[in-house]
Structure 1
Amino acid sequence: MEHVEEIVIVGAGIAGLATALGLHRKGVKSLVLESFPSIRTSGYAIGTWTNAWRALDALGIGNKIREQHILVERFKALSPSSGAILGEGKLEEIEGKIGKIEIRCVRRKFLLETLAQELPQDTIRYSSKVVLIEEEGDLKLLHLADGSVIKAKVLIGGDGINSIVGKYLGLKKPSLTGRLAVRGFAEYPTNHGFKPEFIQINGQGFRFGMSPSTEKSIYWYFAWYSSENDIDESTTKTGELIVRKLSNSKAPNEIIEVIQKSEMDQMLPSPLKFRTPFSLIFGNITKRNICVIGDAFHPMTPDLGQGGCIALEDSVILSRCLSEAVRQGKIEEGLEKFAKIRRWRCAKVVLIAYIVGFIQQSGNWFMSFLREKMLAGIMAGALFMVANYDCGEV
């Protein structure tokens, strides 16, 4: 049996659900296809910066998310060689120079569930994996794994880094960086006692960051240059590797205890990939009545903490462009407008993230010297500059 839908979004991740919600706010119906049988809970948390909060406010759920997560008030950078404090400061002091700064570490599951709860009940269709995309005139035929077919007047790919929609558009595969990353979450029965600050240790071939999410939970990430065997290591060995590298860097014991308190069975390393800025500027991110958003569009390294934030920007801007296009009957023009707005912004963020990651993680002695003596302030400024962006209203 074939179904015809006005707008179909592939992927019920951050970008997909936020776009569906943005369209819903504008009175435009969409259908979200998710291959999993329920909302995906992997990923633990995302660093949510000022630009993301502006997007969440535009979607009408900003305060619901805020009230469940701690506001980061300070930052602290520690030396990877001695554990000494290289720099620290209050975000409110920086805010006066560059504008509003708002950073919270938001639980990914909570964000996705909040987005889903705001949608009409029949918006998300689970266990609906798209395996083939074909054309029938101006329609896109979506063949699902269960044998059913859905016809779409507009197709949006929010299906992640291995996007079938991106593949259909001819986008090049994301490039490997030679780094692996692990993300973790430590839960405490009572207050964990950590200050509302973001702590980072960068250098000697790895990057580590940690921040409270709630009064009882702490999110952290660890990225490092990998050997051929790292990707096959057990979760226990991965945890041991992280503890060993942090111990060698003289990290405070309370930081190491956070790693040890986290769920070891979730510590599977994943390779970091990105789509080159050249591909974002010149690639087919949209074609006629089809486009990509989020990681399907601009996978990036996590060195700015902007992956989820940029996806939320995409969603608000696409919702605005597409809802206008639907009313005017000019779908292709609406998607091209979206692409024109997003290409250079996303290419710039991907490039800055890659450069910052290279500088911060390098174990080269000269780069380490520059990083600790001269570049720390410049790199911190890059993080705040990227986050100072307003995607506008839906």
Structure 2
Amino acid sequence: MAQSARAIVIGGGIGGLAAAAALHRRGWHVTVLERAPSLEPVGAAISLAPNALRALDVLGVGDEIRDLAAWQGDGGLRTPGGRWLSRSNAEAAAARFGGPLVLLPRTALVDRLAALLPPGAVRTAAAATLADPGDGTRPARVTCGAEELQADLVVGADGINSRVRSVLFPAHPGPVHAGFTTWRVLIPVPGAEFASHETWGRGRIWGTHPLKDGRVYAYAAAMTPPGERAPDDEKAELRRRFGNWHDPIPAVIAAARPEDVLRHDVHHIAEPLPAYHLGRVALLGDAAHAMPPTLGQGGNQAVEDAVVLAHHSHDLAGYTAARLPRTSAIARQAVRVARLNMARSRAVVAVRNTAIAALSKAGPALFLRSFDGIADWRPPYASEQAHAGNR
């Protein structure tokens, strides 16, 4: 790798920072351009499955993240009245996929990834535009304010509404509304003791998970039209929709302040892109394959993207070949799970719950089955495994 080889990463989220760290490890001179005034992430917490943890092992921080995280896996799936449909445990998850499922605040992951980069590599309040994707004979060009930068590689990690994607593939229809909205909180809940759980109702779901630092991460989703907002505040909206569900849901809602509640409509890329690269530019994370959060794999796939992109940094066609089929299949599965857990028909919900309970008695919980072929992913190249220690 020539010391002058330069990469520009547009977007300082989890995927962008992971890509920057992976490229830096391979000798690239990396600059991250983030339009926001800080790297503080939007969102409360993130679940990392063994696939993402193995990618983080490649970056040298997998064990550190495991130590920071609440070990997730004990718990299961419930009905709004509190009945357990399916139970799972951390030991079963680790045995099935070769590692744990963990949960931690997004800020903790962002901070660790940023710390892998040299001083000055990340520039905030730096809105960037792809001016020219370049090709085999000329570099890519990026403008940032009045400045023009050239790069041997540009990484578009600028999220679901990616401007980089729209430059590369202007005919692509872009993201579409998934039919529902989500709420998230990360708060202390005094006296709360409970097993991690996700609860499926009719057109509504709720999840509650304790974190290692003593706080509680909770999320909810409901079928709503895009753009709808509560007439008063989103805490009140949660109380209206979920206030009569089983404990500890009412206590979590009561402990939240209105300003603690984040609400976002869910969009996803329904039509896969023709490729994840063009010229000297590659897309990753939500910019390439935004998916519903129903498998908790959005951030996980971005971290996978990052280490695979670094491996194929001089062969972007190889990056597309490695990532597009896998992420497209996972995105389709996330859509199918959304149809299942957000079903609104009373008859469909009754059949769904009966089937889940029966399947879970006959074998591994549905929660674990849904990660087959996903959580068991490993970086597919021996040289990177050597960087990952004994993982």
TM-score interval (norm. to shorter) = 0.7 to 0.9
Aligned equivalent of 1:43: 43
Aligned equivalent of 1:198: 196
1:314 aligns with 2:305: yes
Structure 2 vs 1, CA of residues 296 and 64 (structure 1 numbering), >3 Å: closer, same or farther? same
3-state SS, counterpart of residue 282 of structure 2: strand
Aligned equivalent of 1:274: 268
Distance (Å, rounded) in 1 between the aligned partners of 2:133 and 2:297: 34
User: How much does 1:21 deviate?
Assistant: 0.7
Q: Is the 8 A contact 2:204 2:223 kept in 1?
A: yes
Q: 1:299 aligns with which of 290, 296, 299?
A: 290
Q: 1:358 aligns with which of 333, 339, 344?
A: 339
3-state SS, counterpart of residue 200 of structure 1: strand
Aligned equivalent of 1:140: 140
Q: Which amino acid aligns with 2:337?
A: V
1:201-243 CA-partner distances (Å, limit 9, x unpaired): 1121111111112241111111111146x63326x53212222
User: How much does 1:268 deviate?
Assistant: 4.0
Aligned equivalent of 2:280: 289
User: How much does 1:114 deviate?
Assistant: 0.9
Distance (Å, rounded) in 2 between the aligned partners of 1:263 and 1:336: 48
Aligned equivalent of 1:207: 205
3-state SS, counterpart of residue 141 of structure 1: strand
User: 5 Å matches for 1:126-165?
Assistant: 126-131=124-129, 133-134=131-132, 138-144=138-144, 146-165=145-164
Aligned equivalent of 1:79: 79
3-state SS, counterpart of residue 21 of structure 1: helix
Structure 2 vs 1, CA of residues 38 and 158 (structure 1 numbering), >3 Å: closer, same or farther? same
Aligned equivalent of 2:91: 92
Aligned equivalent of 2:173: 172
Distance (Å, rounded) in 2 between the aligned partners of 1:100 and 1:311: 20
Higher helix share: 1
Q: Which amino acid aligns with 1:279?
A: P
1:5-31 CA-partner distances (Å, limit 9, x unpaired): 721110011111101111122222211
Q: Is the 8 A contact 1:91 1:101 kept in 2?
A: no
Q: Which amino acid aligns with 1:150?
A: L
Aligned equivalent of 1:105: 103
User: How much does 1:101 deviate?
Assistant: 4.0
Distance (Å, rounded) in 1 between the aligned partners of 2:92 and 2:153: 46
User: How much does 1:379 deviate?
Assistant: 4.1
Unaligned runs of 5+ in 2: none
Q: Which amino acid aligns with 2:282?
A: C
Identity over aligned pairs, percent: 26
Aligned equivalent of 1:331: none
1:383 aligns with 2:370: yes
1:227-285 CA-partner distances (Å, limit 9, x unpaired): 46x63326x5321222222234x321x22211222342142421111112x424xx232
Q: Which amino acid aligns with 1:301?
A: P
Q: Is the 8 A contact 1:76 1:198 kept in 2?
A: yes
Q: 1:240 aligns with which of 217, 236, 240?
A: 236
1:63-113 CA-partner distances (Å, limit 9, x unpaired): 222222221241221113x322222232313544x3324111111111111
Aligned equivalent of 1:7: 7
Q: Which amino acid aligns with 1:256?
A: P
Q: Which amino acid aligns with 2:379?
A: C
Unaligned runs of 5+ in 1: 326-333
Structure 2 vs 1, CA of residues 366 and 163 (structure 1 numbering), >3 Å: closer, same or farther? same
1:225 aligns with 2:223: yes
The two structures, once aligned, show a CA RMSD in angstroms of 2.2
1:165-223 CA-partner distances (Å, limit 9, x unpaired): 111111431111121111111125x7x5535x421111211111111122411111111
User: How much does 1:60 deviate?
Assistant: 0.5
